[in-house]
Amino acid sequence: MWTERVARAALGMRRRAFEQTARQQGGYLSQVCSTAELLSTLYLRLLRLEESDAPLTPRPFPGHPSPRAPTPPAGALYHGPTAPHLDRLIVGCPAYSLAVYAALTQLSRLDGKALDSYRADGGSLELWAGAHSPGFTFAAGPLGATLGLAAGVAMGRRLRGENGRVWALLDASELRAGRAWEALGVLRARPLSNLAVLLNAPYEEGGAPHVDAFVRACAPWRVEEVDGHDPEALDRAAQRYDADGPLLIRANTHPCQGMLYLSLAGLPLDFVRFKSTRDRMNFEASLRAELYRPGLAGGER
Amino acid sequence: MSPPPPAAQTREHPHADAMSALAAERPEVVCVTCGPGARAALDRLGEPPPQGLIALPEGVEGAVAFCAGLAREGYRPFLHASAAALARGAYELIATQVAAPCLPVRLVGLDGGLLHEGGVAGQALEDLGLMCRLPNLVAAEGGDAADLLGGLRLLDDLSAPVYLRAPARHAPELFGDPPRVGTLRALSEGAEVLLVTSGVCTAEAQRLTAALKAARVSVTHLHAFVVSGAGPALREALAGGAYKLVVTMEAHLSPGPLAAAAAAVLAEGVDARALPTLVPLSVQQTFAQGGALPYLLRKYGLDAGALLAALEAALKRRVGVSAADLPPSPWGRAEGGWPV
């Protein structure tokens, strides 16, 4: 059943991200916890994508485009070819880079060892993704740009008469930036029904007034609110279409989902880091026990 | 004494006319405005372009991101916004999502420099310098109607992102033919002074150059439409010459892009018979007050009279030209609409 595949993929993502964070002694781990089911459901259920066009082992950083070498974004090749009926996924939160790499690895769009090159000098799996990084069409950042970028892509596809959807995965922290609200103004001027916005609202951000205000501001369009760790609820919400504007799915999530030790230890959740060797050793031992305990389904490889 | 020559004619809405023609001709061109001021500046668009006019509300960062998205889909959006908003409010987005990925987004900064009446909040005196700092991005400034009418197509032919500083409403008619990329437009030839101007300063310099010729001051006057990467053209202009002075004149905070390019060329050394002195005329490290352009050009030392004074000081002689010998400025206060 597809929900079981999502659960296995989400667990696999968490394990891979944990291993990288342990190896690197820090990382955007909480963002993986909150998005694991969102990204797994997107890739396994919601997105209409073809097989990846890109190498399993990511190529080194190819250099930035220039007028003499106007290279297209290599990161988007991991979503396969583009076609009018296929979907796009736009992720723009810099802190989601590891989550996207882990999802692509888990779903065999990247080689199992690809994550070993995460943050490696000269590699393309950068801490903050560029447009050359697997899974990304645009460089991640500045914070809050995702909605405007996705709206532009959706506008371009509408102008061409394509029927594929554009999915934007937003983090609630992006709504703190004024440019996200400016993009909302863009959407009010040009409501785009081919755009679906999946708003990840971890509880520490989700309760903030700017998130409620943003959701209220989208009220003229279809707004769904779901448990972001419930793939079936996500799937039901994603089936909604609004002919008059975009679809907004507010996905309430937990920033420590699947890694309760993060919450218990009181580690910083923006970027998990350690104050001492003892902190780090406790982190590794406790989370390894939590993520690999008997009875948990093995991460899908 | 003969009366001064008449002021150059002006043309209303040359940029809007050029935009209209280009969008009608090229279906992948999408005309976008940000804010009511920019929308009003394009009210002259004749036939609706094939993709329509996308009029966005205020919020330039969202608009730049939107245009980057459109460009990723194969379109070439022309985003019209106030130059101040683009240069100050959206610089991070322009660097990250337009210049770095080398997307064919065309940013049209309306009423940059001293063209805006709105003082410090409206006047982008640093826009061109900031844009010239970004790799990939080509920065240009329209100095007359022909620059705007012919230059838009030229810029759209580039595979690079573009920033164009353009007057929102009217511009003088100084030249008869469209500009060319990679070259500076030669307006007069001489041996003593190399004068390089851009934007509104070109018309001001032209007010003076005819009188200078009559007074036997030998001036080569070059006008820059594309102001980024002007170094090679300046080097070529200086090669083999024996100019005493290189004068740059820009409605821009000091140093403007032309002054910076000239300084770099002179510092690197040129194959010339004499090493000229650089006299950069620009707004000297101050924010400007609001007002009409002729007043502001006079106040900040960028009108024909200021150029005359600078030449006399640098040449250490009176050249025998008075204000009565000069035609009036073709730039006046913009009429109609509200500031962009």
CB-nearest partner of A67 from B56, B58, B136? B136
Give the residue from chain A lying closest to B70, CA to CA: A152
The H-assigned helical ranges of B133-256 are 145-156, 200-214, 231-238
The H-assigned helical ranges of chain B are 14-25, 36-41, 60-72, 83-84, 91-93, 127-132, 145-156, 200-214, 231-238, 257-268, 293-299, 304-315
Q: In angstroms, how far apart are the furthest CA atoms of chain A?
A: 58
Identify the pLDDT of residue A298: 53
Ordered per-residue pLDDT tens for chain B, 340 residues: 456 666 778 899 999 999 999 999 999 999 999 988 898 888 777 666 667 789 999 899 999 999 999 999 999 999 999 999 999 999 999 999 999 999 999 999 999 999 988 888 889 999 999 999 999 999 999 999 999 999 999 999 999 999 999 999 899 999 999 998 889 999 999 999 999 999 999 999 999 998 999 899 999 999 999 999 999 999 999 998 899 999 999 999 999 999 999 999 999 998 878 889 999 999 998 998 888 888 899 999 999 999 999 999 999 999 989 878 888 888 764 444 445 5
- Find out whether A71 and A62 touch, Cβ atoms under 8 Å: yes
Identify the pLDDT of residue A84: 98
Identify the pLDDT of residue A267: 86
Report the half-sphere exposure of A266 (CA within 13 A, side-chain side).
1
A42 touches chain B (CB under 8 A): no
Q: What is the mean pLDDT of residues A100-107?
A: 98
Nearest to A141 by CA among A184, A176, A174, A185: A174
Identify the pLDDT of residue B337: 41
Tokens of A290: 């939590």
Residues 179-238 of A with CB under 8 A from B: 179-186, 188-190
Give the residue from chain A lying closest to B160, CA to CA: A67
In this complex, do B65 and A183 lie within 8 Å of one another by their Cβ atoms? yes
Give the residue from chain B lying closest to A144, CA to CA: B62
In chain B the domains, ranked by start, together with CATH numbers, are 10-173 (3.40.50.970), 185-316 (3.40.50.920)
Q: Which chain B residues are within 8 Å of A184, Cβ to Cβ?
A: 62
Q: How far apart are CA A170 and CA B163, in angstroms?
A: 29
Q: Which chain B residues are within 8 Å of A66, Cβ to Cβ?
A: 102, 135-136
**Is the pLDDT assigned to residue A232 strictly greater than 70?**
yes
For residue B316, the 8-state DSSP code is T
In this complex, do A145 and B61 lie within 8 Å of one another by their Cβ atoms? yes
Identify the pLDDT of residue A159: 94
Q: How far apart are CA A206 and CA A199, in angstroms?
A: 10
**Is the pLDDT assigned to residue A196 strictly greater than 90?**
yes
Q: Rounded to the nearest 5°, which phi and psi values hold at B3?
A: -65, 155
**Is the pLDDT assigned to residue A299 strictly greater than 70?**
no
Task: Tell me the nearest-neighbour CA distance from B85 into chain A, angstroms.
Answer: 13
Which residue(s) pair with B77 in the sheet? B30
For residue B147, the 8-state DSSP code is H
Omega of the bond leading into B255 within 30 degrees of 0 (cis): yes
Chain B contacts to A (CB-CB under 8 A): 30, 51, 54-75, 77, 92-93, 96-97, 100-102, 135-136, 158-160
Give the residue from chain B lying closest to A157, CA to CA: B73
In this complex, do A67 and B160 lie within 8 Å of one another by their Cβ atoms? yes
Identify the pLDDT of residue B340: 57
Give the residue from chain A lying closest to B73, CA to CA: A156
In this complex, do A149 and B66 lie within 8 Å of one another by their Cβ atoms? yes
A64 touches chain B (CB under 8 A): yes
Which residue(s) pair with B12 in the sheet? B170
Task: Tell me the nearest-neighbour CA distance from A142 into chain B, angstroms.
Answer: 7
Q: What is the pLDDT of residues A20-70, one digit of tens each?
A: 999 988 899 999 999 999 999 999 999 999 999 899 999 999 888 999 888
